[in-house]
Structure 1
Amino acid sequence: MPDTTQLRLSVEGMSCASCVGRVERALNAVDGVSDVSVNLASETVQLSLGAPADIASVAATLDEAGYPARRGRVRLSVASMSCASCMGRVDRALAAVPGVLSVNVNLASETATVDYVEGAVTVDDLIRAATDAGYPAEATEDTAAAQDTTDRKQTEAREMARHMTLAAVLALPVFALEMGAHLIPGMHELIGSTIGHQTSWLIQFVLTTLVLIGPGRMFYTKGFPALLRGAPDMNSLVAVGTSAAYLYSVVATFAPALLPEQSRAVYFEAAAVIVVLILLGRALEARAKGRTGAAIRALVGLTPRTATVLRNDTPHEVPIDEIQTGDLLLVRPGERIATDGEVTQGSAHVDESMITGEPVPVLKSPGDPITGGTVNGAGSLRFRATRVGADTTLSQIIRMVEQAQGAKLPIQGLVDRVTLWFVPAVMTVAVLTVLVWLLIGPAPALTMALVAGVSVLIIACPCAMGLATPTSIMVGTGRAAEMGVLFRKGDALQGLGSVDVVALDKTGTLTRGRPELTDMILTEYSPLDRPRVLSLIAALEAQSEHPIAQAITRAAEAEDATGPRPNVTDFAAITGYGVRANVDGHDVLVGADRLMTREGIDISALQDREKALAERGRTVLFAAIDGQAAALVAVADPLKPASGAAIAALHDLGLSVAMITGDKPETARAIAAETGIDHVIAGVLPDGKVSALDDLAKGGRRVAFVGDGINDAPALARADVGIAIGTGTDVAIESADVVLMSGDLRGVVNAFHVSRHTMRNIRQNLFWAFGYNTALIPVAAGLLYPAFGLLLSPILAAGAMALSSIFVLSNALRLRRLRPVMDEGHSPAHPEGQGEATAKAEPAAA
């Protein structure tokens, strides 16, 4: 849909999977709204918003559906207002921000009070809008802006715990009076001889009434309106069930003549204890839900609140929000870097593990990029801010994780289809249960019918169904982010599980993407030692811009073989053959074997070595000095250290691995043999990678493509799952489904690892949620009573229902303990051809 805006709103009142379905249906019915994804665990909605819909219509729709979007209110202090027209301009500027519901500007107090939809707009957006209009603004200290989600969850958990505690204190005497009379010998007679049974029932009535109108009021204020709208939810089930038990008990207490004598019993304890147990479950759920967002909180916590900005070379401590692009910042040893930038002065090792997952600190020097949220080591750095605020790498990562956590996996469709009719079906089953018991049940049939009907209503609450998928997604994608694996699209989490083939780009993915000198073999006839030969060759190659020439030059510089720079004269490039020059008085030739043959230079002593190196995928050159063969030089784009081990790990996961490269087949086959790659597709031009993927996908195989994200966009988009290896700073790779912050294939293995464990966790949750309801609804209805005389108590039903949700949440939280399959310790210790490029000097046989 053109001109759409992505929104993420916080929604109140959702308590079960049925609520999720109703919110989705209501929003999908709004013209201009698409891609709706509702997450019960985080209580959020993600959607695409386009004309003619707007925020106000979305908020109104949610209000009408009974699930209002959370509102926030902020009070801004606005400077530079001097007249009514200023007020108007501020009002218009703030009202124009998407997500703002109302604005009240006060000229006398120089303030503006703004009501807005949480998630659609931030306080920073409002401040920026007023400031850009020419009226600098800041949030006042007494603002009632929305709390952080974590704080809200903690507040909800504490509030539920208070409600539960109060309800428990009130319900305990009720439970003791009623159940004690049934369970403790002599208790019934004791009550009758002291306060009397009617007084006992009156005490239970008063205490239970306090429980229902106090801590339990939320179930009725939400459940009955939903029932009247024809959209019953979990609250409706609890409200109807407890109300039935309560009203039956009230009749038995105050108008017993209306009931058959054998049916005169009270169930005040059932109504009261059900509320206590469900409140306990809600409190534990709120605590667990808060923990599912731990990864987001950890990422947000990486940003420091202040930074040291250099103004006229003088350090000033300023809030992080005041940093602007181009500012010069100082970061001291041990401090966290405030924003993305480029080092201008100093040198230090920076710990980037929280961003890339790489445990080894990275040396940063002038000209190197640094990322906000990382930790400076022992040195002091000065850097210039290049990206601030929402544009920083850390902010992009947080947005990606939030979007992935709010995603709706295909497996969720099953839950949606079931829960659309589940609650109404349960209420129908409850009614039928009551009717059957009344018609054919033993005496007291009315009492038994009430117990069975209430048990069915309570035990069937579909909380666990709604939490089964989103909690696992939130925890799994959050844990993946901590490993440096970002799921840009949530459905990739499920998509990876069905992948059969992993196709790898070679340059920059398997390899370092930069040729290096790997071998240098001297002839025994060479009158010069290795450093001198390398110095002469490098001086000649320094005149060329060819990548192979640059690789030789870099190797010489790294080995300090250049010494005083040799004097190069008479340089000549011989097209198709090589180069020639006079270097410090020596006639030096570097090129292919045909150059040596043309010049009549004997290279027979080196030809066996040349053939062996070529078979290993090396590009081989000969060097001659003063008419004699002096050395054999081999250059290659070396594999990244972890490539071999990562491919072996992919094989262990049962995956086939293919390589797609533009290199010649000999080089490609050599790399495949070295790493264990199954299929090689060589000589492919960049625009031919899509066709290569189509070939790999024949026979219904699903293919994941791994590329460096620079020139692989078509292939990343075409693959069933596109995985881009990021640079640690450039994470916004639009074509990819998954972005790896680390620079090698270990992240691919970890992505599959997280995907498989998360999907297994989801299936476990769904099995428990559906199996629990499928198995226990018949038990609650009294299926076991004819054979065993067992009838499930509503109290036990409430406890089982709460336990179901707690089990699902606890199971999802186990994903927080997921460890990477591959980390720094799993990388091979520089096997031949995979470690740092080394130039080996070996004498050649005569």
Structure 2
Amino acid sequence: MTTTATPSTSGQPTPASTAPELQLDLVGMTCASCANRIERGLNKLPGVEATVNYATERATVRLAPDAAAAADARLDPDALVAAVEKAGYRASLVVPRSASAASAAPGSGSAEAGAAGEARPDALAALKQRLLISTALTVPVLLMSMIPALQFTYWQWLALTLAAPVAVWGAWPFHRAAAVNARHLNATMDTLISVGVSAAFLWSLYALFFGEAGMPGMTMTLQLLGTPEAGAHEIYLEVAAAVTVFILLGRYLEARAKRDSSAALNALLDLAARDAAVLRDGVEVRVPIDQLQLNDRFVVRPGEKIATDGVVVEGTSTVDASLLTGESVPVDVEVDSRVVGGTINVSGRIVVEASRIGADTELARLARLVEEAQTGKAQVQRLADRVSGVFVPIVFVLALGTLLGWVLLNGSIEIAFTAAVATLIIACPCALGLATPTALLVGTGRGSQLGILIKGPQVLESTRRIDTVVLDKTGTVTTGHMEVSAVVPASGISATDLLTFAAAAEEGSEHPLARAVVDHARATGTALPRASEFASHAGLGVTAVVDGRAVAVGRASWLASEWAIEVPDAALAPHEAQGSTPIAVAIDGAFAGVVVLADELKPTSRLAVARLRELGLEPVLLTGDNAGAAAAVGSALGITDVRAGVTPAGKLEVIRSLQASGRVVAMVGDGVNDAAALAAADLGIAMGGGTDAAIAASDLTIVSGDLALVADGIRLARRTLRTIIGNLFWAFGYNVAAIPVAMLGLLNPLLAGLAMAFSSVFVVTNSLRLRSFRPLPRP
């Protein structure tokens, strides 16, 4: 049977793809060994680099660096699918996620069109049904085997009747996977389970039909721990049935964990609106979201979701962006305000002009970042993958050695069989394959709920090592918007009159400083008279006539050189020393005072720096601003290492010099001029309100732009890494410790199956604890 690589949303064949990366949905994987086998098969293809994630059941394939340089380099989806099928599994090409696709299929919880994605909910239900039926049949077998009082005459034949469906039908997924891998001359963890269950069941059949176990009056007691001299019971039906149930339970809990850990990503996609009220010739027309076009204008009423990214062109309102950014405080929007699709309009009616649609929206971009993070592998997991790849053959050798060793030393086939089966079952290292993916899924999912996007597993390892955090000033620790901080009049004029004349003259200017003065005047309720004879002098200032009086607003040096108006140094120096920008105002040829503007600190900047210090990080302030402004901000934040007047290239040099001195550096920035430094840093952290270039170059993104969340992001990444390491230690240590016990005949196969299933459940449960992560409380 041939599986097509064509997405279900496309009717055309795709023999080759120009995309730099493709993803495949995989069907049939049951353990980490399966993932390793598929990964090796894909990586054998020329020019291909592939990573297979067992937890997400997905392969990420890209061109190898040497192959990507070729002009005709292409990824062949058909060849990729054929390689997966050759390994004994099935695959389908994944359609990229987009918010509109998710909203178009609200019941799916996923935007993939592949058959694998569609089948997973049914597969989980089928697994649950198999588990429940097997449990119902196994419980009586266990009770009869454990309690002699329940062992009536010929009870063993009833046990056989109940256990046979469990050992055959209940364990069928393991038998089938083992057979598929055997046809490809390969052995996986399912092979261990299948052989162990089959051995216990077939031995019981032999003992019942050809031995003395089928005789009337046969009794037995269950020994979880035993000694080699005690031998083993004649039949192992309870072992075959109970081990099957325990492992099915482990697999079911794993499957549920995968679904739950992806809930954050699906919830992110579900934020998208399903339709929009588009204005066509002045009439509202309700259209599906995928029919929305760039520059379309659509109406958003109170309580409705904003359909896509855009700019407000009419009305004022308050927007709740908490589900997307993690920021609990609603944001006021007005004409020219930028809004993001998926956020909720709280109060007034607004009209928005679409600036981004489909896969280009902020929501779709964030979903891709989360998904990319969940498909990677940490360095520690790659080691675990290599271990699990050679583990299964070693276990078979150990089990065979155990069987032969006991036969030669003790002569008891029962003891030898018990020890060999226990070795097979206890050794199954399913937990190794789950250690990293489950923690990464839950950790990144929880991060996306809080507005913290972790790009990949390598980020986790970086956060553990960093000791220095470099903070860009403008837009990162400060708002990046100049605001009036003081109005200082000269003698003979009031502060209100000074602001009135200055703002009225500046009203005709589009300069950011001028707009800040005008906005401040309006915010304070100052009535602005109409100005005439307005003239703008680029980079210097403006002149106008206000209420019949000549007004000049601008640089002090310009007033002195052009208008012979001397501005006292005492009026400027205190403000310049604090890093503020004083604008001089003259009325009728005389100095009237200064309006002082400053780039204000963000409300959480002081708290953020304090919490970064608590994490053991030394802060460095980096800015292209003047030394006075930088020193003032550094003093306010308690940062002693301040680097001012630094160019974009200079920022990169600062990062490299810190690294050369032995520091492990995190860089926090938001602008295009920070992109090179973010990429060069050991850990790049971008503010979500910043430029696309900065976000693309970073490893971790704070969607809301709240600097205090940087510390929470580092805490979450470090906790996720600790969880991964703990999972791997438990999974690997458990196998190393338990295998010798089983080989010595001190472990009943029933207990071995229970312990093996528990190890997987422990790893999954330990990872799910990350869902309880909470940001540090705000004072």
Q: Quick check: TM above 0.5? A: yes
Shift of 1:546: 5.4
Count how many residue pairs are aligned between Structure 1 and Structure 2: 733
Report the equivalent of 1:241. Answer: 196
Pair 1:795 & 2:750 matched: yes
State the alpha-carbon separation in 2 of the partners of residues 545 and 645 from structure 1. 34
Conservation of the 8 A alpha-carbon contact between 1:274 and 1:798: yes
27, 46, 56: which one aligns with 2:60: 46
Q: Aligned equivalents of 2:261 and 2:355: distance in 1?
A: 32
From 443, 457, 460, give the equivalent of 2:424. Answer: 457
Give unmatched runs, 5+ long, in structure 2. 1-15, 215-229
Q: Is 2:258 the counterpart of 1:289?
A: yes
- Give 1:397 deviation, angstroms: 1.4
Q: Which moved more, 1:211-220 or 1:798-807?
A: 211-220
1:680 pairs, out of 618, 636, 642, with: 642
The gaps in structure 1 that reach 5 residues or longer are: 70-116, 127-137, 786-790, 827-846
CA 597–60 in structure 1, closer or farther in 2 if over 3 Å, else same: closer
Alignment partners' CA distance in 1, 2:600 and 2:86? 62
CA contact (8 A) 1:707 1:725 kept: yes
Structure 2 residue 57 is the aligned partner of structure 1 residue 63: no
CA contact (8 A) 1:353 1:360 kept: yes
Residue in 1 that maps onto 2:503? 538
Q: Distance in 2 between matches of 1:705 and 1:365?
A: 33
Matched, 1:480 2:447: yes
Matches within 5 A, 1:9-408: 9-34=24-49, 36-48=50-62, 51=73, 53-69=75-91, 117-120=92-95, 152-181=119-148, 184=149, 191=152, 194-195=153-154, 200-256=155-211, 265-408=234-377
Partner Cα distance (2:509, 2:459) in 1: 45
The CA distance in 2 between the partners of 1:697 and 1:262, in whole Å, is 63
Alignment match of 2:475 (pick from 508, 520, 537): 508
Q: Give the Cα separation in 2 of the matches to 1:717 and 1:147.
A: 34
- Deviation track 1:65-113 (CA, whole Å, cap 9, x = no partner) reads 12321xxxxxxxxxxxxxxxxxxxxxxxxxxxxxxxxxxxxxxxxxxxx
**What percent identity do the matched residue pairs reach?**
40
Q: Distance in 1 between matches of 2:760 and 2:639?
A: 45
Cα distance, 1:235–1:805 mapped onto 2, change above 3 Å: same
Query: Over residues 199-258 of structure 1, what are the superposed CA-to-partner deviations in whole Å (9 max), with x where a residue is unaligned?
Result: x44443343332222221121111133245342111100111112212222222223399
Cα distance in 2 for partners of 1:209, 1:628 equals 104
Separation in structure 2 between the aligned mates of residue 202 and residue 702 of structure 1, nearest angstrom: 68
Contact 1:401-1:481 at 8 Å conserved across structures? yes
Counterpart CA distance in 1 for 2:22 and 2:58 is 10
Single out whichever of 743-752 and 265-274 deviates more from structure 2: 743-752
Cα separation, 1, equivalents of 2:646 and 2:52 = 43
Structure 2 distance, partners of 1:683, 1:123, is 41
Structure 2 residue 694 is matched with structure 1 residue 727: no
Alignment of 1:371-450 (within 5 A): 371-441=340-410, 445-450=412-417
The separation in 2 between residues aligned to 1:772 and 1:572, in whole angstroms, is 76
* SS class of match (2:27): coil
| Residues 650 and 12 (structure 1), Cα distance of their counterparts in 2 relative to 1, 3 Å cut | same
**C-alpha deviation, 1:699, in angstroms:** 2.5
Residue 464 (structure 2) aligns with? 497
Per-residue CA deviations over 1:745-777 (Å, capped at 9, x if unaligned) read 123222212211111111221121112212212
CA distance in 1, matches of 2:257, 2:360: 31
Question: Deviations for 1:124-152, whole angstroms, at most 9, x for unmatched residues?
Answer: 999xxxxxxxxxxx9xx9xxx95898875
What is the match of residue 520 of structure 1?
487
Q: Given the alignment of the two structures, is residue 658 of structure 1 paired with residue 620 of structure 2, yes or no?
A: yes
Question: Residues 148 and 296 (structure 1 numbering): CA distance in 2 closer, same or farther, change over 3 Å?
Answer: farther
Q: Distance in 2 between matches of 1:711 and 1:729?
A: 10
What amino acid sits opposite 2:516 in the alignment?
A: A
C-alpha contact 2:579 2:626 (8 A) present in aligned 1: no
Q: Which amino acid aligns with 2:483?
A: E
Preserved contact between residue 23 and residue 38 of structure 1 (Cα < 8 Å): yes
CA displacement 1:479-517 (0-9 Å, x = unmatched): 111111223344223322222211122222222223222
* 1:815-826 equivalent positions in 2, closer than 5 A: 815-821=770-776, 825-826=778-779
Per the alignment, residue 555 of structure 1 pairs with 520
Which position in structure 2 is the counterpart of 1:697? 659
Q: CA deviation at 1:355?
A: 1.6
What secondary structure, in the 3-state scheme, does the structure 2 residue paired with 1:659 have? strand
Q: Provide the secondary structure at the position in 1 that maps to 2:481.
A: coil
Q: What residue identity is the alignment partner of 2:712?
A: N
Using the alignment, how far apart are the partners of 2:430 and 2:129 within structure 1?
21
For 1:273 and 1:119, the matched residues in 2 are separated by 38
Q: CA RMSD in A?
A: 3.5
Query: Structure 1: how far apart are the matches of 2:536 and 2:459?
Result: 54
**Taking structure 1 as reference, are residues 394 and 718 closer, same or farther at Cα in structure 2, changes over 3 Å only?**
same
Cα distance, 1:568 vs structure 2:
5.3
1:731–1:739 CA contact under 8 A, matched in 2: no
Deviation at 1:20, TM superposition (A): 2.2
Q: How does 1:465-476 map to 2 (within 5 A)?
A: 465-476=432-443
**Structure 2: how far apart are the matches of 1:508 and 1:296?**
28
The 1:732/1:222 distance shift into structure 2, 3 A limit, reads farther
**In 2: Cα distance, 1:699 partner to 1:350 partner:** 46
Q: Residues 731, 149 of structure 1: CA spacing in aligned structure 2 closer, same or farther, 3 A cutoff?
A: farther
Q: C-alpha deviations, 1:708-749, integer Å up to 9, x for none?
A: 133322222222222221228969942222222213312322
Q: Indicate conservation of the 8 Å contact 2:320/2:346, yes or no.
A: yes
Q: Which shifted more, 389-398 or 644-653?
A: 389-398
The residue type paired with residue 696 of structure 1 is L
Q: Which residue of 2 aligns with 1:76?
A: none
Query: How far, CA to CA, are the matches of 2:756 and 2:177 in structure 1?
Result: 19
Contact 1:518–1:634 at 8 Å: present in 2 too?
Answer: yes
Instruction: Report if the CA contact (8 A) 2:257-2:438 is conserved.
Output: no
Q: Show the counterpart of 2:723.
A: 761
Compared CA separation, residues 340 and 543, structure 1 to 2 (3 A): closer
Note the alpha carbon deviations across 1:142-164, whole angstroms, 9 max, x for none.
Answer: xxx95898875443332122112
Q: Is the 8 A contact 1:405 1:470 kept in 2?
A: yes
TM-score if structure 1 supplies the norm length?
0.79
| Conserved 8 A contact 2:625-2:645 | yes
**Cα gap change, 1:330/1:516 in structure 2, threshold over 3 Å: closer, same or farther?**
closer
Q: Deviations over 1:595-642 (max 9, x none)?
A: 7888897877x82x7444333222334445456654243222222222
Query: 1 CA distance for matches of 2:407 and 2:132?
Result: 37
1:465 Cα deviation (Å)?
Answer: 0.9
Query: Residues of 2 paired with 1:588 and 1:651: CA distance?
Result: 49
The equivalences for 1:700-711 within 5 A come to: 700-711=662-673
Measured against aligned partners, the alpha-carbon deviations of 1:160-199 in whole angstroms (never above 9, x if no partner) come to 2211222223333433343333xx5xx56xx3xx33xxxx
In the aligned structure 1, how far is the partner of 2:558 from the partner of 2:601? 29
Distance 1:41-1:779 versus aligned 2 partners, 3 A rule: same
Check whether the contact 1:156–1:286 (CA below 8 A) recurs between aligned residues.
Answer: no
TM-score (norm 2): 0.86
Q: Secondary structure of the residue that 2:354 maps to in structure 1? A: strand
